[in-house]
Structure 1
Amino acid sequence: MNDQPATSIAPPIAPRLGGDPAGLPTDMNLVLRVMPMPADANPNGDIFGGWIMAQVDLAGAVLPMRLARGRIATVAVNQFIFKQPVSVGDLLSLYARVERIGKTSITVRVEVWAERNLPSPHVVKVTEANLTYVAIDSQGNPRVFPRD
């Protein structure tokens, strides 16, 4: 695969909570914000990991879809780390950055940050992942990423 430097689609946007919270990814694109609801929780009251994984897959696909200008498919979850539990009512911000572009594939890093405890808000990283997507044609066959 031909590697090319990462491509930025839009300027990064970080949530503001009385100034920049330490550690937010200023070199990544905010691609999705979502708040988990009670139906997304397990019997312990934490949000199901599978629900978080689905949100990460959606967020990770945003930049590749723009770059591919067409259909893409998730082909690998290269890494997925749950760092902190997610609770009902946390406001999740999902950031993405293109790590590598090959001939037909693209690897994306996604970080999930939770804004919690609204009376005294603070932000923590709850998940990080690396996923690979492939550009596909209408028959589902791999196709080359546009290069312009």
Structure 2
Amino acid sequence: MNAPDDVPTPSGQLTLKLAVTRQYTNAHGDIPAGWLVSQMDQAAEWTASREAKGRTATVAIEAMDFLCPVRQGALISIYTDVREIGHSSIKIDVEVWIRTAQCNDDDDPHKVTEARFVMVALDDNGRIRGVRPSGSDGRRET
């Protein structure tokens, strides 16, 4: 059965999926925001490294809002969507969705947060390098 048009759904490709266990939570059973940002960064890096065919690093993260807490037992799904590829940078939209009844009274997936990560390609010495051969702009529709 398809979701109605007004029901939000994840955008991009499922990149990382994990269950929230006690080891990731604070004393109140919630995951710290920094831990979740770290997982988002890891998903963005995997996506960027695939596009850059090598090492990348995060240079910027746009602001994010957290829509609900994530508690122990939640199943986290992180989606990535490459929005733009520049000479040495890659902009990736990252969304976090959870499946749990803690945000509403159902078990439907709920968006927790989203952000745009800006990654740069690095060479073996840690210096910025080109992502694509010259002449290829690599831009995607946004």
TM-score class normalised by the smaller sequence: 0.7 to 0.9
1:85 and 2:40 aligned: no
Question: Which residue of structure 1 lines up, in the alignment, with residue 112 of structure 2?
Answer: 126
AA matched with 1:24: T
Q: Is the 8 A contact 2:87 2:132 kept in 1?
A: no
TM-score normalized by the length of structure 1: 0.79
Task: Note the C-alpha offset of 1:101.
Answer: 1.2
Partner of 2:53: 69
Counterpart position of 2:131: 145
**TM-score, normalization by structure 2:** 0.82
Q: Are 2:78 and 1:94 equivalent residues in the alignment?
A: yes
Distance 1:54 1:135 in 2: 19
Q: 1: CA distance between counterparts of 2:74 and 2:2?
A: 19
Q: String of CA shifts for 1:16-60, please: whole Å, max 9, x gaps.
A: xx75483112x4111110111112111222111111011100111
Aligned position for 1:54: 38
* CA deviations over 1:66-102 (Å, ceiling 9, x no partner): 1100100111112222111101111111111112211
Cα distance in 2 for partners of 1:29, 1:50 equals 22
Contact 1:67/1:146, CA 8 A, preserved across alignment: no
Identity over the aligned pairs, expressed in percent? 37
* Paired letter, 2:13: N
- 2:9 corresponding residue in structure 1: 24
How many residues align structurally? 130
